[in-house]
Chain A
Amino acid sequence: MRDTLTSLRYRYWPDHLLGEILSKRWTETAIPVILLLIIGFALSRSIDHFLSPASLADTARQAGEIGFIGLGMALVVIVGGIDLSVGSMFALTDFCALYLLDVLGWPIPAVVAATLVFGAFLGAVNGVLIGYLRLRAFITTLITLIIYRSAFDLLIQRYSNAIAAAFPDIPSWNFIGGGDVFGIPSVALVYIVIAIFGHIFMTRLRPGWHITAIGGSRRSAYNSGIPVRRTIALCYVASGVLTSIGALFFAARLGTVGGDIGVGLEVIVLTATVLGGITLGGGKGSVAKSLVGVLIVLLITNGLTTMNARGGVNRMALAGILLIAAMIDIRWQKNRTRIISKVYVAPTYHALPPPPATEIGAGGPFEQNDKLRDVTLIGLGRIEAPEDVILDRHDNLYAGSRHGDIMRFLAPDYETMEVFAHIGGQPLGMAFDRDDNLYVCIGGMGLYRIKPDGTVEKATDETNRSLHSVNDDSRLRLADDLDITDDGLIFFSEATVRYEMDEWPIDGLEARGNGRIICYDTKTGSTHTALRGLKFPNGICVASDGQSILFAETFGCSIKRYWFEGPKKGTVEIVMDNLPGYPDNINLASDGNYWLALVGMRSPSLDLAWKMPGFRRRMAKRVPVDEWLFPNINTGCVVKFNEQGKILESFWDLRGANHPMITSMREHRGYLYLGGIANNRIGRYKLDGADPNFVQYDKRWGKLS
């Protein structure tokens, strides 16, 4: 009963999603967005007319004005600086616009252009000081804040009366200040245009990438030839220009130059920037984050003002939010990887019946023996990690190596070893097609094709992305073994979509169906996912009927059959289950039966742990990874089974010296060749009574050797 509940809970509750969602880049934007929605909802409940069009349009106007400054601030924060002078620049450029319009009577386009240039100049002062003279951004902009503010104070003492007396009634100026298009305020429209451009600029254009790179690591950016000083300086210029745009709209809307314009604006904008999730110190941030932050801050301050809070409360609230947001951001950036690695492992319930006996004297097909004691060794100490082995019709032996090469041992003595092809990833399963092309599954890369002359081509490295998966499963993470049908379809297994090649044992700890079988059509070059939700699918072999494949589920401890054609097309049935070990590659035997490698034998402790997902999750959280309970791959064997799923024979190496772990075996002209991913050798075992002319793929393709 309890087991049933556990099994149901782990079957239907998606534990694995938490880690996958957290490791997505967009979570860092999603959290502020959720906060924004919560605040918006709360305020719409507590304040009347909060969501009325007039109120929204008013909010949009303010949001637009502050939003421009927020974009500028985002830019300088991403580049690794800060701009505290925005409030004073806002005041000065606001004064500039009104002075030019009201006192000097310039035409509107000239006013706009001059104000933008003035903003650029103010920003350029910061930019030169910080970018070229390499002063500290915080202290420098703090000083320019005072200088600009004092200049503003001096100027309004002289001109505020003249500006206050003027009432310019110019349609275009009024449109800037209060106009709208289809109900959308002019400022919001301009903001949207600039924001879209900003997004494209930051994510798609070279200067945007330079900015992010400098913020991420100034020294590395410099070493890779990015013009660091100029880029930083230009960011401050951009901040000045964006601030002056905001000031222009503000000037057009209110037309005043009060002494407190822009006072404390830097704190508001900074709070917005940090709240939106733009990391202080640089290297991370986006336009969307800036916008979300501005909206949150604006809703909070407007909400507090509507609720008649005193000025001090407003300021305290902002400062408090600023601190909390900065703290969360700093802690998160520091511990992100650690948190994700703790919650990423999500074990499930996996119950297996007691395994069949393998002890000597217990009888049965799995009874241990010492047949592999005296295998001949090929390439001892010269090859590393030959996961799969294959022979061509000229008897040359091919095997993958840890260094990313396909090695070839030349017949007849297999003493000469040469690099047949260099690929770069760990080669796993291999198969020949009709034209003697060698198809190889490369862990972490995908499916590759090596022509007889040794040239390497990519066959496929992506498949269709499934809709409900959080992890991007279109890329192939761990292509494992393959076989080719008579029609040129290549079925290959991808062991897991949640882990990389180097951490595959963790998938065994999860025991979830994370793997899939993918079909690549050599005729059309298309790829699609045939089966998903498999527990570490591994070996694949086309069955002798030509309409189905046999595949091994390593951590499911079973062999299954999948029909890709014929009356049962699309169905899966179990051939063997409850194997005593973890099945790996499957290959054809000369007598029409199949060879199967058991990479390791099951142990009672892991069998028990597989029924206790909570235990394994605690283990993953609390114990360092090298002390986790992993599937045993130290001892295994080779077995032969027939089409009906009956085990006929088994081959063991009891001494444990030559081939304790076997991931693959290939029969060729009366011999069995043995590969193992942890081995530094290939074994050659003389089979009694086997067909001395059997060559697997020649038999398949009907060629004579």
Chain B
Amino acid sequence: MKRFRFSQQEVVFAVFAVLFLTFSIFLRGFLTPENMLTLLQNVAVLGILGLAMAIVVIGRGIDISLIAALAVPPGLVLQMVQNGHSLPTSLIAALLLAIAFGLVNGWLIAYAEVPSLFATLATGLLLAGLGQTALFQLDVVQWSPGMDGFERLGQGVILGIPTPIIMFAIACVIVAFLLRRTRWGAYIYAIGDNPYAARATGIPSRPIVVLQYVVTALIGCFAGLVMAASVNSMPTRVFNSTLIYDVILVVVLGGIGLSGGRGGVLNVIIGTLLIGTMLNGMTILDISYAGQNLIKGVVLLLAVITDSFLNPRNEETAQQGDI
């Protein structure tokens, strides 16, 4: 299989290196230790979300509802603590909510056979709507004294490294272990590579798919907790932002093909670094929010086009009506 061709991973890494060098040379204030730490800190949450998305994308799915899982359960923690519940109770409630949400997603996709893009688009709206109408009093759920101590998850430094980066590292290790060292991870790759063959060989594909979405929702919830801890509040309107596209951008740019069965944690890290550099550079260049979105959209489009050339859809296993 060794042919003279750059793998996407190498291409993306090269692009990252070029971009990084360009910014370092031409952008004042880019290559400073402070900015580097800010850059990493800013993309840590994105990286964790990228890991969550990577799991489902490897299993030939996608989870558009990830931002809802990021916003609503952690928002629930803050709201419950604000209402006088203890922190552990609130955390357990949030985890249960995330698990339930993952189960709903997984059931819809694995058992009701709704296409994953479609199911998660709708469940994301449902969960966000639920948060907006029933759970939260304000769009931004404020920090309350009961949460004190919890902010260390997202602020402060351990051994000179900001905690969000540590959290991203921990998440990377856990996900890498799950994907590469457990039977469950191997099953995900098998299902993503060819769902029918996986099922024919006796892999319990439906429960595994459900599990994927539960784990994804839990990681999303974890990312939300880190995010809330680092800004001392939960801005639930993040659901309306384009964060989910950044996450897809990380995964696709990193080289995890949307047709499933390929890639791993390393790809997420590379993708995150590239996006982080790009966002940081655009912020220093003072490009407006809409302008940044436009550039991200175009880059994502180019990435998807490249992906479709590097990982062409397998017409034999691509499902009829797979949109």
- A689 contacts chain B at the CB level, 8 A cutoff: no
Contacting pair A219 B315 (CB below 8 A): yes
B117-165 at interface with A (beta carbon < 8 Å):
117-119, 121-126, 128-133
Q: How many residues of B contact A (CB 8 A)?
A: 45
Contact with A along B282-309 (1 / 0, CB 8 A): 0000001111011011101100110010
Q: Which of A139, A219, A267 has the most CB of B within 10 A?
A: A139
Contacting pair A312 B301 (CB below 8 A): no
Contacting pair B308 A323 (CB below 8 A): no
Contacting pair A323 B114 (CB below 8 A): yes
- B7 contacts chain A at the CB level, 8 A cutoff: no
A245 to B323, CA, bound (A): 26
Query: Which of under 10, 10 to 19, 20 to 34, or 35 or more describes the interface residues of A?
Result: 35 or more
Q: How far is the CB of B301 from chain A (nearest CB, A)?
A: 5
Residues of B within 8 A of A589 (CB): none
Q: Which of A25-33, A147-155, A285-293, A631-639 makes up part of the contact surface?
A: A147-155
Contacting pair B296 A315 (CB below 8 A): no
Q: Select B297's contact among A143, A157, A318, beta carbons within 8 Å.
A: A143
The answer to whether A133 and B117 touch (CB under 8 A), given A154-B291, A281-B320, A327-B112, is no
- B113 contacts chain A at the CB level, 8 A cutoff: yes
A134 to B121, CA, bound (A): 22
Contacting pair A153 B293 (CB below 8 A): yes
Q: Select B122's contact among A150, A319, A330, beta carbons within 8 Å.
A: A319
Q: How far is the CB of A220 from chain B (nearest CB, A)?
A: 10
- B235 contacts chain A at the CB level, 8 A cutoff: no
Contacting pair B115 A280 (CB below 8 A): yes
Residues of A within 8 A of B118 (CB): 138, 280, 326
Residues of B within 8 A of A312 (CB): 128-133
Contact with A along B92-122 (1 / 0, CB 8 A): 0000000000000000100011110111011
- B242 contacts chain A at the CB level, 8 A cutoff: yes
Q: How far is the CB of B296 from chain A (nearest CB, A)?
A: 7
- B228 contacts chain A at the CB level, 8 A cutoff: no
Q: How far is the CB of B97 from chain A (nearest CB, A)?
A: 15
Contact with B along A326-341 (1 / 0, CB 8 A): 1100110010000000
A81 to B321, CA, bound (A): 8
A316 to B130, CA, bound (A): 7
Contacting pair B321 A80 (CB below 8 A): yes
A146 to B294, CA, bound (A): 7
A315 to B129, CA, bound (A): 6
- B54 contacts chain A at the CB level, 8 A cutoff: no
- A107 contacts chain B at the CB level, 8 A cutoff: no
Q: Which of A129, A146, A315, A331 has the most CB of B within 10 A?
A: A146
Closest chain A residue to B132 by CB distance? Answer: A312
Contacting pair A143 B245 (CB below 8 A): yes
Residues of B within 8 A of A129 (CB): 301, 305
Contacting pair B293 A82 (CB below 8 A): no
Q: How far is the CB of A575 from chain B (nearest CB, A)?
A: 57
A80 to B115, CA, bound (A): 13
A102 to B115, CA, bound (A): 43
Interface residues of A (CB under 8 A from B): 80-82, 129, 133-140, 142-144, 146-147, 149-151, 153-154, 157, 217-219, 267, 279-283, 310-313, 315-316, 318-320, 322-323, 326-327, 330-331, 334
12 CB < 8 A contacts A-B: A80-B323, A138-B117, A140-B304, A143-B245, A150-B293, A154-B294, A218-B320, A312-B133, A318-B125, A319-B125, A323-B119, A327-B114
Task: Give 13 A-B pairs besides A279-B321, A327-B114 with Cβ atoms closer than 8 angstroms.
Answer: A135-B305, A136-B304, A136-B322, A139-B304, A140-B301, A146-B296, A147-B301, A149-B293, A267-B121, A312-B129, A312-B132, A313-B129, A316-B133
Interface residues of B (CB under 8 A from A): 62, 108, 112-115, 117-119, 121-126, 128-133, 242, 245, 248, 258, 288-291, 293-294, 296-298, 300-301, 304-305, 308, 313, 315, 320-323
